[in-house]
Structure 1
Amino acid sequence: MKIVFAGTPEFAAQALAALIAAGHDMPLVLTQPDRPAGRGMKLKPSPVKELALAHGLTVGQPETLKTATARQAIADVAPEVMVVAAYGLILPEDVLLIPRQGCINIHASLLPRWRGAAPIQRAIEAGDSETGITLMRMDKGLDTGALLSRHPLPIAADDTAASLHDKLAALGAAAIVDLLPRLAETRAFPQDDRLACYATKIGKDEAQIDWSLPAEVLDRRIRAFNPFPGAVTQFQGGPLKIWLARPITGAGNPGEVLSVIPLRVACGAGALELLAVQKAGGKRLPAAAYVAGNPLQPGQRMG
C-alpha cells in the first residue's frame, strides 16, 4: 500500500519501522523540523527523520500543512492512505481529503477517553486500570474521528509514563500493520462524545509535590510525570526530584521525614517510601545511595 507517514517522536518511529518492515511503499515521510536540543542546543532531527533517512526515504519537514506547497507535496505522491502518529501539526481538512482511503491516526488511549496531547500521563495520573491504542479515521476535530479499532492494555501498578509509552508504542505499531491490509472493508464507528475527556498538555508547574495530598495520589503523579517533567519537592535548600516511590501506611505532618532508611515521608493520608531521587545538578540515585551521601534525620520537612 502506498502510504504517506506523518510523525515525530519515538512513539511514531516504532510505527514507521513496522510499516517499513511490512513492505509498504513509503514515498513520503513527514516530520517536524529539527529542533534545538541538549546542553549545546544544537539542531537535532526527530526519531522519525533519523529512521526514514536510514532507510533512504524522502523526508518533508514543513512548518505547517496549511500552505499550498505542503499540500501539493502530499498530493504529488498520490497516497492511498496517510498514517499519522504523534505528528504535532494540525492536518487541515483539504489535506485529510487527499489520500484515497483517508487519514488514520494512531492514538495512545482508548478513545473517546483522553483525547488530546498527554493521554499516557493523564491515564496514570487519574488511576485508570487500563488504557490502550485506538486507530481512528481523522476528521477536522481533536481526536474526534470514527473508530476503526481499539486495543486495550492494562496499566501496571508500577508503570511510569516512560514504561507505558514503550508498551503502547509497540502495540500501536502492531495494530496499524494489522489494520492496513483490511482497511477498505473495516467499518468505522462514531465516538460517543458523552464519554469524552481531554488529556491536557503536561506543564512544568504541575511537577511540584503537594504533600497534603494522599500518598496514592502522589504515587500516581510521580509515575505520570516520569520522565517529564519529573515530580519535584524542596528539601535542604534546593529542589529534589522524586522519580520512583511507593505508597505505604504511615502518619505524620505532610512532608515530614518519618524514617531515613528506608526513606519515608508523610502525606495527607498515608506515606510514601521514596525509591529513586535526584538532587539539582546530581545524578538519579536509589534513595539509599542518596541518604548515604546526604545526612538527614527523621522530623525534617520536605516541601
Structure 2
Amino acid sequence: MRIIYAGTPEFAVPALQGLIDAGHDIVMVLTQPDRPAGRGMQLKASPVKQLALQHGLRVFQPESLKPAEVQSEIAAVNAEVLIVAAYGLIIPTAVLNIPTRGCYNIHGSLLPRWRGAAPIHRAILAGDTETGVTIMEVVPKLDAGNMISKWSVAITAADTTQTLHDAISREGARLMVEAMQTLQDTGCLASEVQDETLVTYAHKLEKAESAIDWTKSAQQLSRQVRAFNPFPVATAKFNDQVCKLWFAQAVAGQGEPGTVLQTHPLQVACGDGALELHELQMPGGKRQTAQQFVQGQHVQVGDRFF
C-alpha cells in the first residue's frame, strides 16, 4: 500500500523498517526538523530520518502540519494510509482525512490506560504489573481512537523504561505490519472502542521529578530510578555533588532516610526499606558500578545521600 509514515525517535524506527521489509510503498516520511544535539550543538537528523535516507525515501520535515501549503504537499502523494509512531507534532483533522484507508498509531501502553506523552515511564512509576502496546485508529482527541490490536508484557523489578521501550517498539512494529497486511488483504480492520471510564493520562515528565526524596519507600524510589532510565535519570546529592542513579532495587533495611547502611552492596535507608544502588554517575564522569562509586568517593557506613 501507499503509506505516509510519521515518526521521529528511536521508538519509531522498527515499524518503519518492518513496513519497508514488508514491501509497502512508503511515499513520504514525516519527521520533526533536525535539532541541535551533542556538545557542539550541531543539527542532527532524527533516527527515523536517518533510516529513511538510507532507503532513499522522501522526507518531509515541516515545523507544523497546520499550514495549507504543508497539507497540500502531503495530499499530493496520494497515500492510502498514514501511520504514526511517536511523531511529536499535532496532526490536524484535515491531515487525518487525507489517506483513503485511514490513519493508525503505535501507542506504548495498554489503552485506555496511559494516554499521553510518557506512558512507559508512568506505568513503572505507578507500580503497574504489566504494560504493552496498542495499535489504534488516530482521531483528533488524544489517543482516544478505536483499538485494533494489543500486546502485553509483565513489568519486573529489573525493568527500566529503556528495556520496556525496546520490547514495546519491537512488538508494536510487528503488530502494525500485521495490521497493514490485514487491511491490504481484506480492506478493513476490526476495532474495539475504548472504555472512557478506565482512562488515565501519562503526563510529560518534568525534570523536577528526577530528584530522589529518601523519605519515600524503597519500592517507590526503585520505580522512580527505573522509570527515569534512560531519561531524565533520577538524581541525589552526595558530598555536595548531584549524582545520577541509573539502576536501583528495593531491599529490606532500616535507618535514617538517606543514610548508607552498608557499602558491599551499597544500600541506603529509605522511609520504608532500603534502596540498593547498582549503577551511579558523578558529574563529568562515566556511569560506574556501585563498588566503583564506593571506592572512588570513599563511601562509608553512616554517610548521607540527600
TM range (shorter): over 0.9
Contact kept, 8 Å, 2:241 with 2:283, in 1: the verdict is: yes
C-alpha distance after superposition, 1:246-272 (max 9, x if no partner): 111100011011112211100000001
Contact kept, 8 Å, 2:157 with 2:249, in 1: the verdict is: no
Mapped partners of 1:77, 1:195: distance in 2: 38
Aligned residue in 1 for 2:33: 33
Instruction: Give secondary structure in 1 for the equivalent of 2:246.
Output: strand
Aligned residue in 2 for 1:92: 92
Instruction: Tell whether 2:120 aligns with 1:105.
Output: no
Mapped partners of 1:57, 1:185: distance in 2: 27
- 1:124-139 pair list within 5 angstroms: 124-139=124-139
Mapped partners of 2:174, 2:210: distance in 1: 33
- 1:1-303 pair list within 5 angstroms: 1-183=1-183, 184-303=187-306
Instruction: Give secondary structure in 2 for the equivalent of 1:232.
Output: strand
Q: CA deviation at 1:296?
A: 1.9
Instruction: Give secondary structure in 1 for the equivalent of 2:73.
Output: helix
Give structure 1 regions of 4+ aligned residues with deviation exceeding 2 angstroms: none
Mapped partners of 2:92, 2:173: distance in 1: 24
Runs of at least 5 residues in structure 2 that lack an aligned partner in the other structure:
none
Mapped partners of 1:151, 1:227: distance in 2: 23
Instruction: Give secondary structure in 2 for the equivalent of 1:69.
Output: helix
Q: CA deviation at 1:71?
A: 0.8
Q: CA deviation at 1:14?
A: 1.2
Instruction: Give secondary structure in 1 for the equivalent of 2:49.
Output: helix
Q: CA deviation at 1:28?
A: 0.5
Q: CA deviation at 1:144?
A: 0.6
Q: Which amino acid aligns with 1:45?
A: A
Mapped partners of 1:14, 1:185: distance in 2: 24
Q: Which amino acid aligns with 1:81?
A: V
Q: CA deviation at 1:36?
A: 0.3
Question: What percentage of aligned pairs have identical amino acids?
Answer: 54
Mapped partners of 2:151, 2:276: distance in 1: 34
Instruction: Give secondary structure in 1 for the equivalent of 2:65.
Output: coil
Q: CA deviation at 1:292?
A: 1.3
C-alpha distance after superposition, 1:96-153 (max 9, x if no partner): 1100111101100011100000001111111111111111111110101111111112
Q: CA deviation at 1:40?
A: 0.5
Mapped partners of 2:155, 2:171: distance in 1: 13
Instruction: Give secondary structure in 1 for the equivalent of 2:250.
Output: strand
Aligned length: 303
Mapped partners of 2:71, 2:148: distance in 1: 25
Instruction: Give secondary structure in 1 for the equivalent of 2:74.
Output: helix
Runs of at least 5 residues in structure 1 that lack an aligned partner in the other structure:
none
Mapped partners of 1:256, 1:104: distance in 2: 50
Q: CA deviation at 1:156?
A: 2.3
Computed over aligned residues only, the root mean square deviation of the Cα atoms, in angstroms, reads 0.8
Deviation larger for 31-40 or 186-195: 186-195
Mapped partners of 2:99, 2:77: distance in 1: 10
Instruction: Give secondary structure in 2 for the equivalent of 1:246.
Output: strand
Q: Which amino acid aligns with 2:274?
A: A
Instruction: Give secondary structure in 2 for the equivalent of 1:182.
Output: helix
TM-score, normalisation: structure 1: 0.98
Deviation larger for 40-49 or 288-297: 288-297
Q: CA deviation at 1:273?
A: 1.0
Instruction: Give secondary structure in 2 for the equivalent of 1:89.
Output: coil
Q: CA deviation at 1:185?
A: 2.9
